[in-house]
Protein backbone atom coordinates (compact mmCIF):
# COMPACT_ATOMS: atom_id res chain seq x y z
CA UNK A 1 0.00 0.00 0.00
CA UNK A 2 1.38 3.41 -0.97
CA UNK A 3 2.07 6.14 1.57
CA UNK A 4 -0.46 8.34 -0.21
CA UNK A 5 -3.20 5.73 0.19
CA UNK A 6 -2.27 5.15 3.82
CA UNK A 7 -2.54 8.88 4.43
CA UNK A 8 -5.90 8.99 2.66
CA UNK A 9 -7.33 6.20 4.77
CA UNK A 10 -6.01 7.79 7.95
CA UNK A 11 -7.74 11.04 7.02
CA UNK A 12 -11.02 9.15 6.67
CA UNK A 13 -10.75 8.03 10.27
CA UNK A 14 -9.70 11.36 11.76
CA UNK A 15 -11.48 13.84 9.52
CA UNK A 16 -14.41 11.87 8.17
CA UNK A 17 -17.45 14.11 8.03
CA UNK A 18 -20.42 12.29 9.49
CA UNK A 19 -22.69 15.23 8.73
CA UNK A 20 -22.54 15.12 4.95
CA UNK A 21 -23.76 12.55 2.46
CA UNK A 22 -21.11 10.22 1.08
CA UNK A 23 -21.05 8.29 -2.21
CA UNK A 24 -20.52 4.55 -2.04
CA UNK A 25 -16.73 4.49 -2.61
CA UNK A 26 -16.23 6.81 0.36
CA UNK A 27 -18.49 4.66 2.55
CA UNK A 28 -16.58 1.55 1.52
CA UNK A 29 -13.27 3.21 2.38
CA UNK A 30 -14.72 4.37 5.67
CA UNK A 31 -15.70 0.80 6.55
CA UNK A 32 -12.17 -0.37 5.80
CA UNK A 33 -10.70 2.31 8.01
CA UNK A 34 -13.12 1.66 10.87
CA UNK A 35 -12.11 -2.01 10.88
CA UNK A 36 -8.44 -1.03 10.75
CA UNK A 37 -8.80 1.44 13.62
CA UNK A 38 -10.74 -0.99 15.84
CA UNK A 39 -9.40 -4.46 15.02
CA UNK A 40 -10.30 -5.78 18.47
CA UNK A 41 -14.02 -5.11 18.05
CA UNK A 42 -14.78 -4.57 14.33
CA UNK A 43 -14.64 -6.93 11.38
CA UNK A 44 -16.01 -6.57 7.86
CA UNK A 45 -18.25 -9.39 6.70
CA UNK A 46 -19.10 -9.79 3.02
CA UNK A 47 -22.42 -11.60 2.85
CA UNK A 48 -23.92 -11.03 -0.56
CA UNK A 49 -23.64 -9.65 -4.05
CA UNK A 50 -25.85 -7.28 -6.02
CA UNK A 51 -27.17 -7.83 -9.53
CA UNK A 52 -24.31 -5.66 -10.84
CA UNK A 53 -21.81 -7.87 -8.97
CA UNK A 54 -21.01 -5.43 -6.18
CA UNK A 55 -20.32 -6.81 -2.72
CA UNK A 56 -22.82 -6.32 0.10
CA UNK A 57 -20.87 -5.89 3.35
CA UNK A 58 -21.57 -5.26 6.99
CA UNK A 59 -19.60 -4.29 10.05
CA UNK A 60 -19.68 -6.83 12.86
CA UNK A 61 -19.03 -4.98 16.11
CA UNK A 62 -18.60 -6.60 19.51
CA UNK A 63 -16.19 -7.57 22.25
CA UNK A 64 -14.74 -11.06 22.35
CA UNK A 65 -16.51 -13.38 24.75
CA UNK A 66 -16.31 -17.10 25.44
CA UNK A 67 -20.05 -17.15 26.11
CA UNK A 68 -22.51 -17.51 23.24
CA UNK A 69 -23.63 -14.04 22.25
CA UNK A 70 -26.90 -12.56 21.07
CA UNK A 71 -27.07 -10.12 18.16
CA UNK A 72 -28.53 -6.87 16.89
CA UNK A 73 -29.27 -6.28 13.19
CA UNK A 74 -29.34 -2.87 11.56
CA UNK A 75 -29.50 -2.12 7.84
CA UNK A 76 -29.63 1.18 6.02
CA UNK A 77 -30.05 2.18 2.40
CA UNK A 78 -32.48 -0.52 1.29
CA UNK A 79 -34.14 2.27 -0.72
CA UNK A 80 -31.59 4.13 -2.81
CA UNK A 81 -32.95 7.66 -2.50
CA UNK A 82 -33.12 7.66 1.31
CA UNK A 83 -29.63 9.08 1.80
CA UNK A 84 -30.17 9.99 5.45
CA UNK A 85 -30.37 6.25 6.27
CA UNK A 86 -26.74 5.35 5.37
CA UNK A 87 -25.68 8.55 7.11
CA UNK A 88 -27.40 7.27 10.25
CA UNK A 89 -25.76 3.84 10.11
CA UNK A 90 -22.35 5.50 9.92
CA UNK A 91 -23.22 7.77 12.83
CA UNK A 92 -24.51 4.81 14.86
CA UNK A 93 -21.24 2.92 14.37
CA UNK A 94 -19.23 5.97 15.38
CA UNK A 95 -21.27 6.45 18.53
CA UNK A 96 -21.10 2.92 19.87
CA UNK A 97 -17.35 2.72 19.16
CA UNK A 98 -16.79 5.98 21.02
CA UNK A 99 -19.06 5.02 23.89
CA UNK A 100 -18.14 1.50 24.94
CA UNK A 101 -14.72 2.43 26.35
CA UNK A 102 -16.19 4.91 28.83
CA UNK A 103 -19.76 3.68 29.33
CA UNK A 104 -20.01 0.43 31.35
CA UNK A 105 -23.51 -0.21 30.00
CA UNK A 106 -22.42 -0.10 26.36
CA UNK A 107 -19.37 -2.19 27.20
CA UNK A 108 -21.63 -4.80 28.78
CA UNK A 109 -23.94 -4.84 25.77
CA UNK A 110 -20.99 -5.26 23.41
CA UNK A 111 -19.81 -8.13 25.57
CA UNK A 112 -23.20 -9.82 25.44
CA UNK A 113 -24.20 -8.96 21.88
CA UNK A 114 -22.69 -8.43 18.45
CA UNK A 115 -23.95 -5.57 16.31
CA UNK A 116 -24.33 -6.33 12.60
CA UNK A 117 -24.60 -3.04 10.72
CA UNK A 118 -25.05 -2.78 6.94
CA UNK A 119 -24.48 0.87 5.95
CA UNK A 120 -25.85 0.39 2.41
CA UNK A 121 -27.89 -2.68 1.50
CA UNK A 122 -29.01 -1.54 -1.95
CA UNK A 123 -25.54 -0.76 -3.27
CA UNK A 124 -26.46 -0.67 -6.98
CA UNK A 125 -29.45 1.58 -6.47
CA UNK A 126 -27.58 3.87 -4.11
CA UNK A 127 -24.78 4.36 -6.60
CA UNK A 128 -27.31 5.02 -9.35
CA UNK A 129 -29.01 7.67 -7.22
CA UNK A 130 -25.68 9.53 -7.14
CA UNK A 131 -25.32 9.52 -10.93
CA UNK A 132 -27.03 12.86 -11.61
CA UNK A 133 -30.11 14.92 -10.77
CA UNK A 134 -32.34 12.76 -12.96
CA UNK A 135 -31.55 9.62 -10.90
CA UNK A 136 -31.50 11.20 -7.43
CA UNK A 137 -34.93 9.84 -6.45
CA UNK A 138 -34.35 6.27 -7.64
CA UNK A 139 -35.77 3.82 -5.07
CA UNK A 140 -35.33 0.25 -6.30
CA UNK A 141 -32.37 -1.99 -7.03
CA UNK A 142 -31.02 -2.32 -10.58
CA UNK A 143 -32.06 -5.82 -11.59
CA UNK A 144 -33.80 -6.15 -14.96
CA UNK A 145 -37.55 -6.52 -15.08
CA UNK A 146 -39.24 -9.77 -16.06
CA UNK A 147 -39.50 -10.87 -19.68
CA UNK A 148 -41.34 -8.30 -21.74
CA UNK A 149 -40.65 -5.44 -19.35
CA UNK A 150 -38.37 -2.60 -20.39
CA UNK A 151 -38.00 -1.19 -16.85
CA UNK A 152 -35.36 -2.07 -14.27
CA UNK A 153 -35.53 -2.48 -10.54
CA UNK A 154 -37.42 -4.22 -7.76
CA UNK A 155 -38.43 -2.75 -4.43
CA UNK A 156 -36.25 -4.88 -2.17
CA UNK A 157 -38.44 -4.05 0.82
CA UNK A 158 -41.42 -5.67 -0.90
CA UNK A 159 -39.52 -8.80 -1.92
CA UNK A 160 -39.20 -10.64 1.40
CA UNK A 161 -41.21 -13.79 2.03
CA UNK A 162 -43.70 -12.20 4.42
CA UNK A 163 -47.22 -12.14 2.99
CA UNK A 164 -45.45 -11.35 -0.28
CA UNK A 165 -47.47 -9.79 -3.08
CA UNK A 166 -50.71 -9.41 -1.12
CA UNK A 167 -51.16 -5.71 -0.34
CA UNK A 168 -49.55 -2.31 -0.84
CA UNK A 169 -47.38 -3.46 -3.75
CA UNK A 170 -47.45 -3.53 -7.53
CA UNK A 171 -46.86 -6.21 -10.15
CA UNK A 172 -46.18 -3.49 -12.71
CA UNK A 173 -42.41 -3.64 -13.11
CA UNK A 174 -42.22 0.04 -14.03
CA UNK A 175 -43.61 1.28 -10.70
CA UNK A 176 -41.56 2.07 -7.58
CA UNK A 177 -43.52 -0.56 -5.63
CA UNK A 178 -42.77 -3.52 -7.93
CA UNK A 179 -42.38 -6.48 -5.59
CA UNK A 180 -40.47 -8.76 -7.96
CA UNK A 181 -41.51 -11.79 -9.93
CA UNK A 182 -41.48 -13.99 -6.83
CA UNK A 183 -40.55 -13.73 -3.14
CA UNK A 184 -36.81 -13.55 -2.49
CA UNK A 185 -36.12 -13.14 -6.20
CA UNK A 186 -33.54 -10.39 -5.58
CA UNK A 187 -29.92 -11.02 -4.62
CA UNK A 188 -30.10 -8.40 -1.85
CA UNK A 189 -33.15 -10.09 -0.35
CA UNK A 190 -31.45 -13.44 -0.61
CA UNK A 191 -28.36 -12.13 1.19
CA UNK A 192 -30.32 -10.86 4.21
CA UNK A 193 -32.63 -13.88 4.25
CA UNK A 194 -29.72 -16.31 4.37
CA UNK A 195 -27.45 -14.35 6.71
CA UNK A 196 -30.10 -13.50 9.29
CA UNK A 197 -32.21 -16.59 8.77
CA UNK A 198 -29.30 -18.96 9.33
CA UNK A 199 -28.72 -17.50 12.81
CA UNK A 200 -32.18 -16.13 13.59
CA UNK A 201 -32.20 -17.51 17.12
CA UNK A 202 -29.30 -15.19 17.97
CA UNK A 203 -31.01 -11.93 16.99
CA UNK A 204 -32.90 -9.89 19.56
CA UNK A 205 -33.52 -6.84 17.36
CA UNK A 206 -34.00 -6.19 13.67
CA UNK A 207 -33.83 -2.47 12.92
CA UNK A 208 -34.21 -1.32 9.32
CA UNK A 209 -33.64 2.38 8.71
CA UNK A 210 -35.63 4.39 6.15
CA UNK A 211 -36.96 7.86 5.45
CA UNK A 212 -39.12 9.85 5.57
CA UNK A 213 -42.12 10.58 7.86
CA UNK A 214 -40.71 10.39 11.42
CA UNK A 215 -42.23 7.08 12.44
CA UNK A 216 -41.44 3.86 14.26
CA UNK A 217 -43.29 1.08 12.46
CA UNK A 218 -43.98 -2.29 14.05
CA UNK A 219 -45.12 -5.52 12.39
CA UNK A 220 -47.27 -6.25 10.52
CA UNK A 221 -47.81 -4.34 7.31
CA UNK A 222 -50.83 -6.50 6.47
CA UNK A 223 -53.95 -5.45 8.41
CA UNK A 224 -55.14 -9.04 8.85
CA UNK A 225 -52.13 -10.07 10.93
CA UNK A 226 -50.97 -9.00 14.40
CA UNK A 227 -47.58 -9.64 15.97
CA UNK A 228 -47.81 -11.92 19.04
CA UNK A 229 -45.99 -9.29 21.12
CA UNK A 230 -47.79 -6.33 19.56
CA UNK A 231 -48.52 -4.61 22.89
CA UNK A 232 -44.89 -4.83 23.95
CA UNK A 233 -43.67 -3.59 20.57
CA UNK A 234 -45.96 -0.55 20.85
CA UNK A 235 -44.96 0.10 24.47
CA UNK A 236 -41.24 -0.06 23.68
CA UNK A 237 -41.76 1.98 20.52
CA UNK A 238 -43.59 4.73 22.39
CA UNK A 239 -40.82 4.86 25.00
CA UNK A 240 -38.23 5.08 22.21
CA UNK A 241 -40.23 7.91 20.62
CA UNK A 242 -40.13 9.73 23.96
CA UNK A 243 -36.34 9.41 23.98
CA UNK A 244 -36.21 10.76 20.43
CA UNK A 245 -38.37 13.74 21.36
CA UNK A 246 -36.12 14.65 24.30
CA UNK A 247 -33.21 15.40 21.95
CA UNK A 248 -34.62 18.03 19.58
CA UNK A 249 -38.36 17.94 20.20
CA UNK A 250 -39.07 15.87 17.11
CA UNK A 251 -42.28 13.85 17.26
CA UNK A 252 -42.26 10.26 15.99
CA UNK A 253 -45.52 8.39 15.42
CA UNK A 254 -45.61 4.73 16.52
CA UNK A 255 -47.79 1.99 15.06
CA UNK A 256 -48.28 -0.61 12.38
CA UNK A 257 -48.10 0.57 8.74
CA UNK A 258 -51.86 0.13 8.14
CA UNK A 259 -52.62 2.22 11.22
CA UNK A 260 -50.22 5.12 10.69
CA UNK A 261 -48.89 4.99 7.11
CA UNK A 262 -50.18 2.49 4.54
CA UNK A 263 -50.59 -1.27 4.34
CA UNK A 264 -47.72 -3.17 2.76
CA UNK A 265 -46.35 -6.66 2.36
CA UNK A 266 -43.02 -8.34 1.76
CA UNK A 267 -41.05 -6.06 4.09
CA UNK A 268 -37.88 -7.10 5.87
CA UNK A 269 -39.40 -5.93 9.17
CA UNK A 270 -42.34 -8.32 8.85
CA UNK A 271 -40.11 -11.15 7.65
CA UNK A 272 -37.81 -10.74 10.65
CA UNK A 273 -40.73 -10.90 13.10
CA UNK A 274 -42.07 -14.01 11.38
CA UNK A 275 -38.64 -15.58 11.87
CA UNK A 276 -39.07 -15.17 15.63
CA UNK A 277 -36.90 -12.08 16.13
CA UNK A 278 -38.87 -10.37 18.91
CA UNK A 279 -38.10 -6.68 18.37
CA UNK A 280 -38.45 -5.72 14.73
CA UNK A 281 -38.86 -2.04 13.80
CA UNK A 282 -38.72 0.22 10.79
CA UNK A 283 -37.32 3.68 11.53
CA UNK A 284 -38.64 6.39 9.20
CA UNK A 285 -36.28 9.30 9.80
CA UNK A 286 -36.80 13.01 9.09
CA UNK A 287 -38.66 14.83 7.82
CA UNK A 288 -42.45 15.13 7.42
CA UNK A 289 -42.34 16.03 3.75
CA UNK A 290 -40.88 19.53 3.54
CA UNK A 291 -37.74 18.20 1.89
CA UNK A 292 -38.70 14.52 1.78
CA UNK A 293 -35.97 12.26 0.45
CA UNK A 294 -33.71 15.24 -0.27
CA UNK A 295 -33.13 16.12 3.36
CA UNK A 296 -30.54 18.93 3.58
CA UNK A 297 -27.16 18.09 5.04
CA UNK A 298 -27.68 20.53 7.90
CA UNK A 299 -30.34 18.15 9.21
CA UNK A 300 -28.12 15.07 9.24
CA UNK A 301 -26.70 15.79 12.68
CA UNK A 302 -29.98 16.41 14.54
CA UNK A 303 -31.70 13.57 12.70
CA UNK A 304 -28.97 11.12 13.65
CA UNK A 305 -28.69 12.36 17.23
CA UNK A 306 -32.37 11.84 17.96
CA UNK A 307 -32.72 8.55 16.09
CA UNK A 308 -29.69 7.17 17.92
CA UNK A 309 -31.42 7.66 21.26
CA UNK A 310 -34.49 5.84 19.99
CA UNK A 311 -32.50 2.94 18.62
CA UNK A 312 -30.42 2.77 21.78
CA UNK A 313 -33.55 2.53 23.91
CA UNK A 314 -34.91 -0.42 21.92
CA UNK A 315 -31.56 -2.19 21.92
CA UNK A 316 -31.06 -1.64 25.65
CA UNK A 317 -34.56 -2.87 26.42
CA UNK A 318 -34.02 -6.05 24.40
CA UNK A 319 -30.64 -6.61 26.04
CA UNK A 320 -31.87 -6.09 29.57
CA UNK A 321 -34.92 -8.25 29.10
CA UNK A 322 -32.76 -11.09 27.81
CA UNK A 323 -29.77 -10.90 30.12
CA UNK A 324 -31.43 -9.60 33.29
CA UNK A 325 -34.01 -12.31 32.85
CA UNK A 326 -31.30 -14.92 32.51
CA UNK A 327 -29.58 -13.63 35.65
CA UNK A 328 -32.86 -13.67 37.58
CA UNK A 329 -33.53 -17.23 36.47
CA UNK A 330 -30.07 -18.31 37.58
CA UNK A 331 -30.48 -16.54 40.92
CA UNK A 332 -33.86 -18.17 41.48
CA UNK A 333 -32.41 -21.58 40.72
CA UNK A 334 -29.53 -20.94 43.14
CA UNK A 335 -31.88 -19.87 45.92
CA UNK A 336 -34.08 -22.90 45.30
CA UNK A 337 -31.06 -25.17 45.59
CA UNK A 338 -29.86 -23.47 48.78
CA UNK A 339 -33.29 -23.70 50.37
CA UNK A 340 -33.43 -27.38 49.48
CA UNK A 341 -30.03 -27.94 51.15
CA UNK A 342 -31.16 -26.06 54.27
CA UNK A 343 -34.40 -28.00 54.38
CA UNK A 344 -32.63 -31.35 54.03
CA UNK A 345 -30.16 -30.37 56.75
CA UNK A 346 -33.06 -29.42 59.02
CA UNK A 347 -34.79 -32.75 58.44
CA UNK A 348 -31.63 -34.72 59.21
CA UNK A 349 -31.10 -32.79 62.45
CA UNK A 350 -34.60 -33.16 63.82
CA UNK A 351 -35.88 -36.47 62.46
Of the residues 82, 188, 284, 306, only one is catalytic, namely: 284
Rounded to the nearest 5 percent, the helix, strand and coil shares of the chain are 45, 15, 40
Helices (H) and strands (E) in the chain — how many of each? Answer: 10, 8
Question: What kind and span of H or E run contains 211?
Answer: strand 203-211
The answer to whether residues 20 and 33 touch, using CB atoms and an 8 Å cutoff, is no
Based on the residue annotation, tell me whether 284 is a catalytic residue of this protein.
Answer: yes
State the Cα angle at 51 between 49 and 57, rounded to 5°.
Answer: 25
**How many other C-beta atoms are found inside a 10 Å radius of the C-beta of residue 348?**
8
Q: Which long-range contacts (CB under 8 A, 24 or more apart) does 229-237 make?
A: 229/278, 230/256, 233/279, 233/280, 233/281, 236/279, 236/313, 236/314, 236/317, 237/281, 237/314
Catalytic residue set: 284
Amino acid sequence: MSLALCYFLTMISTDYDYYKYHPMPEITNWMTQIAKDHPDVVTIVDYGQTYEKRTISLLKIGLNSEAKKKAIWMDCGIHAREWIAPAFCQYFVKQILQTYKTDPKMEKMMMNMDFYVTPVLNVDGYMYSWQDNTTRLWRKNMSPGPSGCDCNGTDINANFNANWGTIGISFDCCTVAFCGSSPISETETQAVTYFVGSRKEDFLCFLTIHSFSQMLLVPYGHPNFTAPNYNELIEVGLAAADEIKKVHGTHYTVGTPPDVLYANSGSSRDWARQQGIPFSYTFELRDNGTFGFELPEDQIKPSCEEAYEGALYIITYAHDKTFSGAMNTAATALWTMLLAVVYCTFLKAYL
